[in-house]
Amino acid sequence: MARFSVRGLRLRPGQKHHESLRLVLDPLVLGGETYHTVPPETPAELVVQRAATGDIFRLALSTRLEGPCMRCLAPASLTVEVHAQEYDATDAGADEELRSEYVSDGELDAGAWARDQVALALPDQILCRPDCAGLCPICGKDLNVEPHEHAEEAVDPRWAALEAFRTDAPDG
Ligand SMILES: [Zn+2]
Ligand SMILES: [Zn+2]
């Protein structure tokens, strides 16, 4: 379940509601690679609190994301923790800033909110291991498996010519 009916709770100011959700998050696409949550269903804890002028939402979840290492494309995974809060003013005429983008028609889109929060919590790079050496930029071999350098090729005049070609090439 991704959308949660807030209206159906019929909370009065000061009242709180706790709900355990099981969210199926859409895969995240980063740098052309796809990352899935494992297992597919993410357990999440939602708290809805009615304040005098709106609703406060708190979301907590922990999930595991799996996909290719951003350096060597080997399988990589990481655990992502989310603790998020949203506020949504009850007054329909309230300032945009006081409205939550995840609430509409009395429903909270918990799935979209959770997915965005998972994306925000990710490190800059998803790696198979912190010191992953990546793929060789010249021959494409896995430097973790076969550490090597291309000292000779780097000074080969053919490479220098190729570099010059790259620099001169028009954009696009
Ligand atoms: Zn790697
Ligand atoms: Zn190489």
pLDDT at res. 97? 83
Q: How far is the CA of 171 from the centre of ligand 2 (A)?
A: 27
Query: What φ, ψ does residue 14 adopt, rounded to 5°?
Result: 95, -20
pLDDT at res. 21? 95
pLDDT at res. 2? 79
Could you tell me if 117 and 82 are in contact, meaning their C-beta atoms sit under 8 angstroms apart? yes
Mean pLDDT of 142-162: 76
pLDDT digits (tens, 9 = 90+) for 18-44: 999 999 999 999 989 999 999 999 999
Query: What φ, ψ does residue 143 adopt, rounded to 5°?
Result: -75, -15
Ligand closest to CA 151: 2
pLDDT digits (tens, 9 = 90+) for 58-99: 999 999 999 999 999 999 999 999 999 999 998 777 788 889
State the chain's mean pLDDT as an integer. 89
The residue extents of the domains of the chain are 3-121, 133-172
**How far is the C-alpha of 27 from the C-alpha of 121, rounded, in Å?**
15
Ligand closest to CA 154: 2
* Predicted confidence (pLDDT) at residue 10 exceeds the cutoff of 80: yes
Q: How far is the CA of 117 from the centre of ligand 1 (A)?
A: 24
pLDDT at res. 87? 95
Type of residue found at 128: C
pLDDT digits (tens, 9 = 90+) for 102-129: 999 899 999 999 999 999 999 999 999 9
* Predicted confidence (pLDDT) at residue 163 exceeds the cutoff of 70: no
Closest CA to 107 of 88, 120, 94, 84: 88
pLDDT at res. 56? 96
pTM of the predicted model, to two decimals? 0.79
b/e map of 34-47 (b: 16 or more CB within 10 Å)? ebbbeeeebebebe
pLDDT at res. 58? 98
Q: How far is the CA of 167 from the centre of ligand 2 (A)?
A: 22
Q: How far is the CA of 157 from the centre of ligand 2 (A)?
A: 18
Within 10 A of 33 (CB to CB), how many other CB atoms are there?
15
pLDDT digits (tens, 9 = 90+) for 92-103: 777 888 899 999
**How far is the C-alpha of 76 from the C-alpha of 3, rounded, in Å?**
30
Q: How far is the CA of 152 from the centre of ligand 2 (A)?
A: 11
pLDDT at res. 165? 65
